[in-house]
Amino acid sequence: MSAAIADGLGAPNFVVTTPWGTTMVSDDSTGTDTIGEVTLDGDVSVWAQGVPTPNGMVFSLDNRTLCIAATFEGVGLWRVPVSEEGEAGTPEQWVSFGAASTPDGVAIDSEGSVYVALNINDEIAQVKPDGTVTIIAEGVDKAASLAFGQGEYDPCSLYVTNLLGAQVWRVGVGVLGTEN
């Protein structure tokens, strides 16, 4: 069974559930800098403003920061502090990637490193909690969405789709993922 629960979101792209029972929705359209919040009743509001072209999102391990990939403008990984009440603080760019890298999906491991799919570069980047960036995989054709394995899938590997393609890639990272 499927049913629309919200309307009026522009061009919604990526969703992540919050620890307080709502859903965050990004819109990576050029000129957009807002992250929407949707309640179970379908109410839509702006949760944060100031992250240009937001795309993939993941909460930090302590749920006090939302990490967001900015795809076309302000290209990189952004952070928004989160209060105990679930309110957004002021966004800041944490890591910058090359202008043509088009960061897309994100995931987080059990040690707090954030992984970012870099579409155009065909790469997966690992961003450690101190901001150190390491390219951990190359040649992942137009890497888009990614998630750590669950169940029978290796929980120390990222599973990656490719933009406009028909493949799923497995990228071993050697660190246990999370369910965020």
- In the chain, the percentage of residues whose pLDDT exceeds 90 is 86
Number of H helices, E strands in the chain: 0, 15
* Alpha carbon distance 24, 37 (integer Å): 5
Tell me the HSE value of 95 on the side-chain side, using a 13 A CA sphere. 23
What domains can you pick out in the chain, each with its CATH number? Answer: 52-172 (2.120.10.30)
Burial status of residue 122 (CB atoms within 10 A of its CB: 0-12, 13-18, 19 or more): middle
Q: How far apart are CA 44 and CA 12, in angstroms?
A: 12
Categorize the per-residue pLDDT at 169 as very low, low, confident or very high, splitting at 50, 70 and 90.
very high
Which among 157, 113, 162, 158 has a CA at the least distance from the CA of 139? 162
pLDDT digits (tens, 9 = 90+) for 91-150: 999 999 988 899 999 999 999 999 999 999 999 999 999 999 999 999 999 999 999 999
Question: What is the model's pTM?
Answer: 0.95
